[in-house]
Chain A
Amino acid sequence: MATETQTRSFYSDKLKRAVHLLLFRRGKIPGAREWEFKEKVGKNYQQVLAQLNELLSELDLEVKKVTEPRSDEISTAESHSTLEEARYFVALKGTLGVKEAKMIGWRIDNLAALSASIAYLVSKQGKAPREELEKLLAQKFGRWKAMTLADIFLRTGYLEEDDAGTMSLGWRTRAEIDLRALMTKMAEAKV
């Protein structure tokens, strides 16, 4: 019994450390890398995260593991992950409605443009020249707004741009968006 109490208290302390790492932003990107958990939570950090996940699931949240892509390939599978490249986030388990999205500061047209941009980039295997993407957005949202929208998505981390002006999916897209679901819903959507 005494051992059980000790184990619980041990985990409680580690849970606190893990949740602090996950929720409090320390750098440009929220969440924490795997090595940070190893260093601050210990070798059994995966057990701690599993326990934390159970607690968070009651609040419609979950601990999500996202890996940085090492090549041009895009994938929803996590099978290619390596320990050094993984980052953990706390994300919403369910989804938001239109009203909720508006309440957290998103405009419907901006969400629509983000949806179009990501779907287009996915169809182009994750990369496309900026001009092509802006052309697509301009047809739907107007030429002047297209550039502003692209800049917003770059600033918020949903898209990335390299020196050659090629747009690709950003860290936030990999962390927040279920690409498989997006493409399926897009294909199924009635117009």
Chain B
Amino acid sequence: MTATEKTKSTRTGLSSGRKELKEIIETCDSIAARKFNPFFMDVKLGVDTLREYFPFWNEFEDHCLDAHAINRLSEVVRLQNTQLKFQSSALYADPDFVTRKVERMSEKRLAEVFLQSWHPVTELEQLTNGGAADALDYWNLLLPIAERWKRNEYSQGTRPETTDSDTLTGLGIHGKEFGRELTDLWNDLRQKYSVEKKPVDYWEFVKGASYQETVQRAYFVSFLVTYGYSKLQVDGDQMILVPNDEPLGKVATGAVSLPIPIRREN
């Protein structure tokens, strides 16, 4: 082998070795995050790979990568040990078995099973330092009501009234399944966003053929935003909607409530 060929082979070994080690680390991290079964990883093969590429490492970073891979592999071995102990314990149940059981059992039966093993804690709730601090933070961050009304130029509307189920059905709040309504509206928003290739104006989107329809669409949009299926951004006087491809799943840190009055002229 010539010197040039040798250098080329070393380079290939270096780059493929780094790639393989990174793959090992990623797989180990996924196992640690419970995305895969610990026995998904063949630890012996992992160690053999590390041994194979060890002669190529000259740089400090490569040795660090090697050490990191060993560390992650040892974590997988620990998880495999835990898994074996768990399987030999009385608590062992296969996740697929539990999933199938949950799918097939009625809600009432599931609740009954839970109640038979539930021994709720008794306590007397009272004001605590932590609770008082949370409350203080809330009130300190809240603008005075006059400021909030001034900023949004609210007008005094009619007072809330009670209503019956017939009226709710007439408004479209009853009837069609809530989840399906939301999904339809989300798909509608995503389609509009992909066609226009820019954020969708809030009022344009919620505007319906009648005032009732506008209120109904605004009501559903509030759920889309709360559940993380869409972002609502305030840009000066304009409010825009940007749909997310996947729901965020939880309320973002620093999320605020945004009351939006709907006037008949809207």
Interface residues of chain A, those whose CB is within 8 Å of chain B, are 23-28, 30-31, 61-62, 64, 71-76, 89-98, 101, 104, 108-109, 111-116, 118-120, 122-125, 127-131, 134, 136, 139-140, 142-145, 147, 150-151, 164-166, 172, 175-187, 189-191
Given A122-B93, A134-B249, A166-B33, A96 and B113 touching (CB < 8 A)?
Answer: no
Bound CA span A92–B99, Å: 29
Within 8 A of A (CB), among B120-139: 120-126, 128-130
Beyond A25-B125, A184-B90, 7 additional pairs, beta carbon < 8 A:
A25-B124, A28-B128, A89-B121, A111-B114, A112-B114, A176-B120, A177-B114
- Interface size class for chain B? 35 or more
B115 lies within 8 A of A189 (CB): no
CB-based contact A24/B124 at 8 Å: yes
Residues B113 and A115 in contact, CB atoms below 8 Å apart:
yes
CB–CB A129/B34 < 8 A: yes
Choose among A73, A74, A108, A123 the residue with the greatest number of B CB atoms under 10 Å from its CB.
A123
User: Which of B104, B112, B117, B129 counts the most A-chain CB atoms under 10 A from its CB?
Assistant: B117
- Which one of A111, A181, A186 contacts B101 once the chains associate, using CB atoms below 8 Å? A186
The 26 sampled A-B contact pairs (Cβ below 8 Å) are A23-B122, A25-B124, A62-B119, A64-B121, A71-B82, A76-B91, A90-B123, A95-B118, A111-B111, A111-B114, A111-B115, A116-B98, A119-B101, A120-B95, A120-B102, A125-B82, A144-B182, A166-B34, A176-B120, A181-B117, A185-B117, A186-B93, A186-B98, A186-B101, A189-B109, A191-B109
Please, which residues of chain A bring their CB within 8 A of the CB of B44?
Answer: none
A125, A129, A178: the one contacting B117 at CB < 8 Å is A178
Complex-state Cα separation, A113 to B154, whole angstroms: 41
In the assembly, what is the distance between CA of A116 and CA of B110, in Å?
7
Q: How far is the CA of A175 from the CA of B129 in the complex (A)?
A: 23
Chain A positions within 8 Å of B123 at CB level: 23-25, 30-31, 89-90
**Complex formed: what's the CA distance from A112 to B102 in Å?**
9
Say whether A112 contacts B108, CB under 8 Å.
yes
Partner of B113, one of A108, A131, A189: A189
Instruction: Kindly list chain B residues whose C-beta atoms are within 8 Å of the C-beta of A139.
Output: 102-103
- The interface residues of chain B lying within 8 Å CB-to-CB of A147 are 227-228, 247, 249-250
Question: Considering the complex of A and B, which 6 residue pairs feature the smallest CB-CB distances, nearest first?
Answer: A115-B114, A112-B110, A30-B123, A181-B117, A111-B111, A182-B117
Give the distance in Å from the alpha carbon of A190 to the alpha carbon of B251 in the complex.
38
Complex Cα distance A102/B227, Å? 27
A136 B99 Cβ-Cβ under 8 A: yes
Known A-B contacts A98-B112, A130-B249, A172-B121; the reply to A109 vs B107 at CB < 8 A is: yes
Complex CA–CA separation, A104 to B118 (angstroms): 13
A179 touches B33 (CB 8 A): no
Let me know if A73 and B99 touch, CB within 8 A. no
CA–CA, A129 to B33, complex, Å?
7
Q: Please state if B179 and A144 are interface contacts (CB–CB under 8 Å).
A: yes
CB proximity of B55 to chain A, nearest CB, Å: 35
Cβ of B156 within 8 Å of any chain A Cβ, yes or no, is: no
Residue of A nearest to B111 (CB): A111
* Residues on A with beta carbons closer than 8 Å to the beta carbon of B249: 130-131, 134, 147, 150, 165
Given contacts A26-B128, A92-B120, A178-B117, contact A144 B227 (CB under 8 A): yes
- Looking at the assembled complex, report how far the CB atom of B171 sits from the nearest CB atom of chain A, in whole angstroms: 20
Verify B110–A73 contact, CB threshold 8 A. Answer: no
The residues of A that contact B107 with a CB separation of less than 8 Å are: 108-109, 112, 140
Cα separation A120 to B105 with both chains bound (whole Å)? 14
A116 near B102: Cβ-Cβ < 8 Å: yes
A112 cross-chain contacts in B, Cβ below 8 A:
107-108, 110-111, 114
Q: Is the CB of A180 within 8 A of B91?
A: yes
Query: Which chain A residues lie closer than 8 Å to B83 at the CB level?
Result: 125
Q: What separation, in Å, do the CA atoms of A125 and B80 have in the docked complex? A: 11
When the two chains form their complex, are residues B34 and A127 in contact, meaning their CB atoms are under 8 A apart? yes
Residues from chain B with Cβ under 8 Å of A123 in the complex? 92-95, 97-98
